[in-house]
Amino acid sequence: MKKIRGQSDETKGLIQKMKELEFVPGLKRGQSLTLLDKLKVVKRMPNRSIPYQAYIFLVDELVIKFGITRDISMRHSQLEKNNKREIKLLHAYEFEKENAAKAEATCRMNFRGRRLTKKELPDGYTETTSIDNLSKVLEIYKRFGGIPIK
Domain ranges of the chain: 9-44, 52-148
Confidence (pTM):
0.65
Burial 59-76 (b: 16+ CB within 10 A, else e): beeebbbbbbbeebeebb
The answer to whether 1 and 24 have CB atoms below 8 angstroms apart is no
Q: How many CB atoms neighbour CB 30 within 10 A?
A: 5
Q: What is the pLDDT of residue 27?
A: 54
pLDDT band at 46 (very low <50, low <70, confident <90, very high): low
The whole-number average pLDDT for the span 37-60 is: 69
